[in-house]
Amino acid sequence: MNFWRQLPKPFFALAPMEDVTDTVFRELIASYAAAGKLQVLFTEFMSVEGFLHDIGHKKVIHRLYVSSREREILKSRGIKLVAQIWGSDPENFFKAGQQIAEQYDFDGIDINMGCPVKKIVKKNACSALIKTPELAKDIIAATKEGSGLPVSVKTRIGFNQVETDNWIGNLLEVNPAAITVHARTQRMLSRGFADWNEVLKSVQLRDSLNFDTMILGNGDVSSYNDGFEKSKIFKADGLMVGRGVFRNPAFFSDQKILEPGQRIQMLKNHLLRFQEEWEGKKSYSILKRFFKIYVNSFQDATSFRADLMTTNNYKEGMQVIEEFEDSLAAVPSELTQIPV
């Protein structure tokens, strides 16, 4: 069943992000989400070539890992989980799609055609596929055939320049279940402002060609309300949120700003769950990219974060957190919040 067609509009999705949207972070985001505010989550993106290779498989398979705890939370809240994959060979997409459908329990597969990183582009994958539209269509068709699951695409509005009409029109020809339009070109990376008029253009193109592909807009969604307004103005069926969740880890909750104590508790939960799931499998240093997400916008956040960055293991991390909690408890609450 194509779950995309069953979602309420506008629906919200958390973007797939490397070394960020693992099972622990997805679990935390979902657990803090208010009812009906988050509909779709994605895994980190996984190479189909690595997945199908005897040695490479061991290096990439963790990207598809879903803990039983996350699974329970998603099921209870009706949140869909999609595996994101990347590569450049249609045959590998067919095989990978087939294995993912047979061996895992995902609601769909998403193909990354938007990552702008040079080492990936040099492999003729991700955003490089914008320059080879026929290959891109073959990849989508192969994934659909191999998996039998709803297949979506995350992409951009062009490579060196905007070419929404030709590129999105090309993708629509094979009728993917959904297309997420990051409203920047590959050349822009994450710089400049996302041009949401190109999202509207994608929707209008879809409608004029009479396809039923869902169109998600992505880029500079600063808050839940901002996303809701963008959907009304630019007619997107859904919104994908990436860096917005870094500014507010409870982006999908009913709280506009988390109190310092709530942010610290969320950080503690992340450390504890990361240790439970990944100790001995992933480096503790990965957690350091999350410290700024939780530790900001309150008194002494900068020095607290600096102390956390010097830690090298879970015990040290928890010690720094507990010491800061002790100091925070001694300060009147009205003095701990910094206006943002």
C-alpha atoms less than 13 angstroms from C-alpha of 317 in its C-beta half-sphere: 21
- Tell me the catalytic residues: 115
The one-letter amino acid code at 290 reads F
Q: Which two tokens stand for residue 320?
A: 């720094």
Q: Which residue has the tokens 């909750």?
A: 253
**CA–CA gap between residue 243 and residue 245 (Å, rounded):** 5
Which residues are within 8 A (CB) of 325 and not within 5 positions of it... i.e. 6 or more apart?
Answer: 261, 264
- Kindly report the CA angle at 174 between 172 and 179, in degrees rounded to 5? 45
**Three-state DSSP class for 217?**
strand
Helix (H, G, I), strand (E, B) or coil at 315: helix
Which pair of tokens denotes residue 29?
Answer: 């985001």
